[in-house]
Amino acid sequence: MRNSFLLLALFAAPLAAAPAVPAAAPIPIGAAAAVRGTVEALLPAPGAVGRILGSGAPVYLNDKITTGPNGRLQVLLRDETVFTIGPNTTLILDKFVYDPSTDLGQVSASITRGFFRFITGKIAKKHPSNMKVTLPVCTIGIHGTDVMGHVGPGQATVVLKSGGIRVGNQAGSVMIERPDFCTTVGAGHAPVHVFAAPPSMLDALASALAPRPVLPAPQAPAAPPAGKAVLNKPVLDALLTQTSQDSLTQLVDGATSNWDDVRKLSGSGLYTANGSFSAAGNECTAPGQCSWNFNFTADFQNRFLNGTASVTTTDVGNVPSGTIDSTNLNSLNTDWSSLSGSAVLTVPMSGLTNNGGGYNFNTCSAGDCYYRFTFQNKGGRAAGQVKGESAIADAPITGTGQTLTAPRQ
């Protein structure tokens, strides 16, 4: 059955100053399918809204979708246009207007890097010129089409699978009308003459775009062909009639991440920072006398920290330069597999020393001498940075470290 959805932008000129209007809710225009590995989406707006995409999740107008090194997914739009992207790829859904009662509308998308394939839907079949796909070095004009290719630094390769396309930029253009023929385009240069795509190129593109099974091969179902949507139209329509805002996880930059969002991450992240440590009394009072640092890897696959945090001094009374504390984080219980709520880890100092000179630093209780690491959102993703804090409440030092922020590397 045809939907009654019509995505329109309505504008009206105000006659007088009006109260501030809340930001419009994101417009769902399709859904993700066959998601493998890490796939992140970001709506580019003040107070960025980012989320981890899973199969069946809505995608929104202006979404910037990025895959990780093992990421793959398909995006099915409401007019049945299908985008398939491979690892290390970025797709931006620039424009989508669709009237299902007439199949009229417009589709515009940008692919800024990586592997891609798209199969045109009802909008392009009705009016091919109403769909446009932009690469950094050229634009692809549509003529009822199945296309795949790759965007690399300063260049792009475009292969026709069926239909016809015009690939061009300000320097010139070429028309491709034969399946498995292609062109390459360099920045500032016209596309090269059309040529037959070598089998090695076709195999590499197909491999990068093919869905990867989640289960071991003997148990996994047969993978659908690259570019073939795995969501059918009724399922898509039912999904997109739900309240769009309920499907978003607000990942505002600088806010504390949630453990549920952190557990969706894969791979690992390195965080490192150093700063001053100041105290009341006679010790660690001079600038540069004491400092603290952390250097650890967050293993998102196994969900624990691996590294160190320490407090050091250049002079404590008559004690020479040395270490006040050095805590081996991976020897402690930093497993967050079952934690809930805000993504914060408080780690007791376990390497406090007796530094001599009458100063004994190893009498701290866990609540008095600690490091605290808070995962924060950055760039629309969870754990994009870590805020680090440290404190010692034990003679001869009672003080705190400078609050440090380290981006994920």
CATH number at residue 89: 2.60.120.1440
Give pLDDT tens digits for 136-147: 999 998 876 899
Residue 99 has pLDDT above 70, yes or no: yes
The domain total for the chain is 2
Cα–Cα dist 299/8, whole Å: 44
For residue 227, give the nearest of 206, 201, 199 by alpha carbon.
Answer: 206
Considering the domain architecture, whether residues 242 and 321 belong to the same structural domain is answered as no
> Tell me, what CATH number does 382's domain have?
2.40.160
Q: What proportion of the chain, given as a percentage, has pLDDT over 90?
A: 35
Domain boundary at 190, 215, 247, which? Answer: 247
Considering the domain architecture, whether residues 62 and 138 belong to the same structural domain is answered as yes
Rg from Cα positions in the chain: 27
pLDDT value, residue 46? 61
pLDDT value, residue 253? 74
For 146, the domain range is: 28-247
Cα–Cα dist 173/159, whole Å: 14
Domain boundary at 247, 270, 286, which? Answer: 247
CA torsion through residues 120, 122, 125, 128, sign:
negative
Is residue 11 in some structural domain?
Answer: no
Domain boundary at 215, 247, 279, which? Answer: 247
Is residue 10 in some structural domain?
Answer: no
Is residue 225 in some structural domain?
Answer: yes
Is residue 56 in some structural domain?
Answer: yes
For 206, list phi and psi in degrees, rounded to 5.
-65, -40
Exposure class string for 1-28: b at 16+ Cβ within 10 A, else e = eeeeeebeeeeeeeeeeeeeeeeeebbb
Is residue 9 in some structural domain?
Answer: no
Average of per-residue pLDDT values in the chain = 78
pLDDT value, residue 281? 57
The model's confidence at residue 325, banded by pLDDT at 50, 70 and 90, is confident
Write down how long the chain is: 409
The model's confidence at residue 258, banded by pLDDT at 50, 70 and 90, is confident
Considering the domain architecture, whether residues 154 and 43 belong to the same structural domain is answered as yes
Using an 8 Å Cβ cutoff, are 183 and 156 in contact?
no
What mean pLDDT is predicted for residues 307-326? 72
Cα–Cα dist 279/180, whole Å: 70
Considering the domain architecture, whether residues 54 and 180 belong to the same structural domain is answered as yes
Using an 8 Å Cβ cutoff, are 69 and 95 in contact?
no
Considering the domain architecture, whether residues 295 and 327 belong to the same structural domain is answered as yes
Considering the domain architecture, whether residues 186 and 264 belong to the same structural domain is answered as no
Is residue 402 in some structural domain?
Answer: yes
Considering the domain architecture, whether residues 273 and 401 belong to the same structural domain is answered as yes
Considering the domain architecture, whether residues 212 and 349 belong to the same structural domain is answered as no
Half-sphere exposure in the Cβ direction for 155 (13 Å, CA): 6
What mean pLDDT is predicted for residues 98-126? 92
Using an 8 Å Cβ cutoff, are 147 and 158 in contact?
yes
Is residue 6 in some structural domain?
Answer: no
For residue 401, give the nearest of 288, 278, 281, 272 by alpha carbon.
Answer: 278
Considering the domain architecture, whether residues 226 and 285 belong to the same structural domain is answered as no
Give pLDDT tens digits for 280-312: 655 666 777 788 999 999 888 788 888 999 888
What mean pLDDT is predicted for residues 245-274? 74
Is residue 20 in some structural domain?
Answer: no
pLDDT value, residue 6? 33
Using an 8 Å Cβ cutoff, are 409 and 269 in contact?
yes
- For the ranges 1-5, 252-256, 267-271, 349-353, which has the lowest average pLDDT? 1-5
Considering the domain architecture, whether residues 160 and 39 belong to the same structural domain is answered as yes
Residue 227 has pLDDT above 60, yes or no: no
Considering the domain architecture, whether residues 41 and 121 belong to the same structural domain is answered as yes
Residue scoring higher pLDDT (281 or 55): 55
Q: What global pTM score does this model have? A: 0.58
Give pLDDT tens digits for 171-218: 999 999 999 999 999 999 999 999 999 999 999 999 888 865 443 333
Considering the domain architecture, whether residues 266 and 361 belong to the same structural domain is answered as yes
pLDDT value, residue 24? 62
